[in-house]
Amino acid sequence: MTGDSITAPPQVSAPELADFFADVITGLSSNPRTIPCKYFYDARGAALFQKICELAEYYVTRTEIDILDRSRTDIALQLGPNVELIGLGTGAGTKTRILIEALQNPAVYIPVDISEKQLRESTALFRKIFPNLEILPVSADYLQPVVLPSPNRKPARKIVYFPGSTIGNFDPDEAMQFLRRIANVCRGGGGLLIGVDLKKDREVLEAAYNDSAGVTAEFNLNLLQRINRELGADFDLDQWRHLAIYNSNAGRIEMHLISETDQLVHLNEHKFHFRRAEKIITEFSYKYTPREFAALGAKAGFNFVRMWTDDARLFGVFYFVMASG
């Protein structure tokens, strides 16, 4: 993401296949082996994630939606009128809709999402629901520099909205660097509204990422299926299984794909040998206490304003503004 909103066409190309190939080769050649979690979200992955969000064990989405629904008036008062709302990875837009409905005369909504199909569908829906709101979708990987389109109407301030606890996919140092990039966008009185999964009992966390219906396992394994389909690899999905564990020392959920046997995987001219029980890391999801995350925001140049949470304190929606000076 660039430091400021720079005039550009409303559509920016999604990551190229060459980037996907290079990232997979680099990740599978590393120790430990990894595949970047941003590649979960092809059309099937995005649809599976929507199913995960509806599962009984997966408290994250419904809790965040409940917080937004109950606190929408207060949140809108904090954000103020005539804002430019920049949504990062907002997906189907369920949470964003709650927010926009509460905002006073928003100037523009700029959703940035890597899933082009989901972005196209959510944009079409939002244009029907909010016919008077300018919507400028950007299909892009927000982890890379992104040129944001300029709205027709000058906003009072820029608000970056980053829901879903996606910030947890960064390790704390990377999260701080990413928040600093967001801070550059928010200069001139802007702010950040961000969803954060809070630390809690191991049992609750591990159940959320190892659901009894096996949808999260299917979502994780779809990553290998995508690599087979788009890059021509020959992963045998029957020889891999999903496992998520909570590492309490690091304060994170770790999602793995585990090889069930000794096996060789081909990807073009590359060959990768996997031992039985060897893991591919597909996602880390860091959890924070409210104090920890407020401190992280401060290091990135933000002032913490407040946090809205649920009765069980499972999840927090944090609001920061740019620090003066």
Taking only the tens place, the pLDDT of each residue in 127-145 is 999 999 999 999 988 888 8
Determine the pLDDT at residue 60.
95
Pairing of strands 83-88, 108-113: parallel
CB-based contacts of 75, cutoff 8 Å, min separation 6: 68, 99, 102, 193, 308, 317, 319
Determine the pLDDT at residue 50.
87
AA identity, residue 304 = F
| Six token digits for residue 260 | 């069930």
**What band does 325 get if pLDDT is binned at 50, 70 and 90?**
low
Query: CA 63 to CA 55: how far, in whole Å?
Result: 12
The answer on pLDDT for 7 being more than 90 is no
The domain spanning residue 172 has which CATH number? Answer: 3.40.50.150
- DSSP readout, 113-159? ES-HHHHHHHHHHHHHH-TTSEE--EES-TTS--PPPPPSS--SEEE
| Six token digits for residue 132 | 């008077």
* DSSP β-bridge partners for residue 157: 83
Q: Which of the two residues, 12 and 95, has the higher pLDDT score?
A: 95
7-11, 31-35, 118-122: range with highest mean pLDDT: 31-35
| Six token digits for residue 234 | 């020959």
Query: CA 185 to CA 5: how far, in whole Å?
Result: 7
Q: How far is CA 118 from CA 10, 122, 206, 287, in A?
A: 16, 6, 28, 27
Query: CA 236 to CA 227: how far, in whole Å?
Result: 11
The answer on pLDDT for 112 being more than 80 is yes
AA identity, residue 115 = S
pLDDT digits over 53-109, tens only? Answer: 999 999 999 999 999 999 999 999 999 999 999 999 988 899 999 999 999 999 999
What's the predicted TM-score (pTM) here?
0.88
Q: What are phi and psi of 189, to 5 degrees?
A: 95, 10
Percentage of residues of the chain with pLDDT beyond 90: 84
Q: What are phi and psi of 95, to 5 degrees?
A: -70, -40
User: Domain range for residue 303?
Assistant: 1-325
Query: CA 222 to CA 45: how far, in whole Å?
Result: 7
CB 157 within 8 A of CB 84: yes
**What band does 324 get if pLDDT is binned at 50, 70 and 90?**
low
CB 75 within 8 A of CB 99: yes
Q: How many domains does the chain have?
A: 1
